[in-house]
């Protein structure tokens, strides 16, 4: 049996650890194993020093002060702490209302933002879920239109994890600062890939995660602004008072060292990496769309992360497509819920129909993706889609020029 090739194009789900990150982490498992909370011996000091150094590296990636960085277990925790933590500090009822304040987010945010917002809704906050336009970009104008007297918090991601679209974050930041509203951005897919300056973008709270930027899993950071304004948060985890009381628990020193190293590498290499990835993504998208009709690239044509391509293929069935391209490790436009395959809610929010959402692929490239990988993927996708379409009576009808929207289907 010939070995089947398998190429990884799911870097938006997780990235491999950079070997330089692993190397930096190793001593902190064994000889440098101290608890940074141990204040009276060398082991503790050594660990504390390593955490301080990592904090500086994370801060440098964001244009922040090291004191503004809180280490977390990743972006799910970071978003929860930012959103729920800010809501419970800044809650305010408008005159004559029983509400606790108004929050703005968008329907195509990650679940790690949507679910905390939904919980707050149940607890008496009013939440506006902005509906994105077809191109997926949330603009400052949309946020401005939703702002109210009692708006306390806006949470809009910097870039979307399924389609890679880039929201108008600096413009939304400026608007929020003008109105005295706290602004959180989930930068999980953005940070380490694109230049980030929390001052310029007027972001108050920013979430990032190690395993999306070639660092380890289970570690992340939350940026919490300390000046103009000094942002306060209600802690979610109480205990020993680590991380200035924002997040108790013995620090994950190895993970934090890895995250710091990953941020340092990202800061140095993102320019070259980004340019290379953009060229590869274009090669991939053009390779596929130039050879296949009834195919669409989802999301804004330009305002998109360099490494994420999301493509829908008409006249193929989603599960068959995933099976046919199984040598490519990527994500489909379907999400498994307990009982069924649901079309991606992100693509649906953009107005992509259920059928087309199911037959979509998210291909996300990374630091070690090569041109040969891309060419392999293009060939595999094109030949698979052509083959599947040969079996599609609908595609035959389409080819014959029958307007499928006018066909009256028999219902059973
Ligand atoms: C945009 C976004 N936010 C949050 C998360 C959750 O991050 P973590 O896996 O670090 O909890 C992810 C990861 O899938 C993501 O892509």
> What tokens appear for 100 in the block?
């606790």
Lowest mean pLDDT among 176-190, 213-227, 325-339: 325-339
Give the closest residue (by CA) to ligand 1 atom 8.
75
Lowest mean pLDDT among 160-164, 283-287, 341-345: 341-345
Give the closest residue (by CA) to ligand 1 atom 4.
75
- Ligand 1 pocket: which of 10, 76, 80, 83 to mutate (most atoms <8 Å of CB)? 76
Q: At how many degrees (to 10) do helices 111-122 and 75-90 cross?
A: 30
Ligand 1 pocket, 76 CB below 6 A? yes
Once rounded to an integer, what is the mean pLDDT over residues 314-331? 94
Give the closest residue (by CA) to ligand 1 atom 5.
75
pLDDT in tens, 336-386: 666 678 899 999 999 999 999 999 999 999 999 999 999 999 999 999 999
Q: Which of 17, 176, 263, 336 is catalytic?
A: 336
- Ligand 1 atom with the shortest distance to the CA of 159: 1
pLDDT in tens, 196-228: 999 999 999 999 999 999 999 999 999 999 999
Nearest in space to 9 (alpha carbons), one of 324, 332, 258: 332
- Ligand 1 pocket: which of 13, 14, 75, 169 to mutate (most atoms <8 Å of CB)? 75
For residue 169, report the phi and psi dihedrals to the nearest 5 degrees. Answer: -65, -50
The full set of domains in the chain, from first to last, is 7-11+271-405 (3.90.1150.10), 19-266 (3.40.640.10)
- Ligand 1 centroid, distance to 221 Cα (angstroms): 12
- 219 neighbors 58 (Cβ within 8 angstroms): no
pLDDT in tens, 265-280: 999 999 999 999 999 9
Q: According to the model, what pLDDT value does residue 337 have?
A: 66
HEC letters along 369-399: CCHHHHHHHHHHHHHHHHHHHHCCHHHHHHH
- For the chain, give the mean pLDDT: 95
Q: According to the model, what pLDDT value does residue 217 have?
A: 98
Q: Map tokens 């060419």 to a residue.
A: 375
Q: According to the model, what pLDDT value does residue 411 have?
A: 56
Ligand 1 pocket, 161 CB below 6 A? yes
Ligand 1 pocket, 112 CB below 6 A? yes
> What tokens appear for 135 in the block?
């191109």
- Ligand 1 centroid, distance to 218 Cα (angstroms): 11
> What tokens appear for 381 in the block?
């996708």
- Ligand 1 pocket: which of 107, 110, 117, 214 to mutate (most atoms <8 Å of CB)? 110
- Ligand 1 atom with the shortest distance to the CA of 74: 10
- Ligand 1 centroid, distance to 209 Cα (angstroms): 7
Distance between CA atoms of residues 185 and 199, nearest Å: 13
Distance between CA atoms of residues 258 and 58, nearest Å: 11
Residue 318 DSSP label:
H
pLDDT in tens, 62-112: 999 999 999 999 999 999 999 999 999 999 866 666 789 999 999 999 999
Element holding 102 (H helix, E strand)? strand 102-106
Ligand 1 pocket, 11 CB below 6 A? no
pLDDT band for 1, please (50, 70, 90 cuts): very low
How far, CA to CA in Å, does 310 sit from each of 175, 232, 305, 334?
Answer: 30, 37, 11, 12
Strands (E), 314-371: 328-329, 331-332, 334-336, 341-343, 360-364
Ligand 1 pocket, 109 CB below 6 A? no
pLDDT band for 58, please (50, 70, 90 cuts): very high
- Ligand 1 centroid, distance to 301 Cα (angstroms): 24
Indicate the burial class of 6 (C-beta count within 10 angstroms; 0-12, 13-18, 19 or more): exposed
Task: Give catalytic status of residue 176 as yes or no.
Answer: no
- Ligand 1 pocket: which of 10, 159, 209 to mutate (most atoms <8 Å of CB)? 209
Q: According to the model, what pLDDT value does residue 95 have?
A: 66
Q: According to the model, what pLDDT value does residue 403 have?
A: 82
Q: Looking at the DSSP assignment, which residues form a beta bridge with residue 130?
A: 106
Ligand 1 pocket, 220 CB below 6 A? yes
Ligand 1 pocket, 74 CB below 6 A? yes
Q: According to the model, what pLDDT value does residue 141 have?
A: 98
């Amino acid at each position: 049996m010939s070995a089947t090739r398998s190429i990884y194009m799911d870097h938006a789900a997780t990235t491999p650890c950079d070997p330089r990150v692993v190397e930096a982490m190793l001593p902190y498992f064994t000889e440098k194993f101290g608890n940074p909370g141990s204040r009276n011996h060398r082991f503790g000091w050594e660990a504390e020093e390593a955490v301080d150094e990592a904090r500086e590296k994370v801060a440098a990636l964001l244009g922040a002060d090291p004191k503004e960085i809180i280490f977390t277990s990743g972006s799910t925790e970071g978003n929860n702490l930012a959103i729920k933590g800010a809501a419970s500090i800044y809650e305010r009822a408008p005159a004559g209302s029983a509400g606790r304040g108004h929050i703005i987010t968008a329907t195509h945010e990650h679940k790690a933002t949507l679910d905390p917002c939904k919980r707050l809704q149940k607890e008496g906050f009013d939440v506006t879920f902005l509906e994105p336009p077809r191109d997926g970009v949330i603009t400052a104008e949309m946020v401005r239109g939703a702002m109210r007297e009692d708006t306390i918090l806006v949470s809009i991601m910097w870039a979307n994890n399924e389609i890679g679209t880039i929201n108008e974050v600096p413009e939304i930041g400026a608007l929020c600062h003008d109105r005295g509203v706290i602004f959180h951005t989930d930068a999980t897919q953005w940070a380490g890939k694109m230049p980030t300056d929390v001052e310029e973008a007027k972001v108050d709270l920013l979430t990032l995660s190690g395993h999306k930027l070639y660092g380890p899993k289970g570690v992340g950071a939350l940026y919490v602004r300390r000046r103009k304004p000094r942002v306060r948060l209600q802690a979610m985890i109480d205990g020993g008072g680590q991380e200035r009381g924002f997040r108790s628990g013995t620090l994950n020193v190895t993970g934090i060292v890895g995250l710091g190293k990953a941020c340092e590498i990202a800061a140095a290499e993102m320019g070259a990496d980004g340019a290379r990835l953009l060229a590869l993504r274009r090669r991939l998208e053009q390779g596929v769309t130039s050879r296949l009709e009834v195919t669409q690239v989802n999301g804004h044509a330009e305002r998109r992360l360099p490494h994420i391509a999301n493509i829908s293929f008409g006249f193929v069935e989603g599960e068959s497509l995933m099976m046919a391209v199984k040598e490519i490790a990527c994500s489909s436009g379907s999400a498994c819920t307990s009982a069924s395959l649901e079309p991606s809610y992100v693509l649906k929010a953009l107005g992509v129909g259920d059928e087309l959402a199911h037959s979509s692929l998210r291909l996300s490239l990374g630091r070690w993706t090569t041109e040969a990988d891309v060419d392999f993927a293009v060939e595999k996708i094109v030949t698979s889609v052509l083959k599947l379409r040969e079996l599609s009576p609908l595609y035959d009808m389409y080819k014959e020029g029958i307007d499928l929207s006018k066909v009256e289907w028999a219902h059973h």
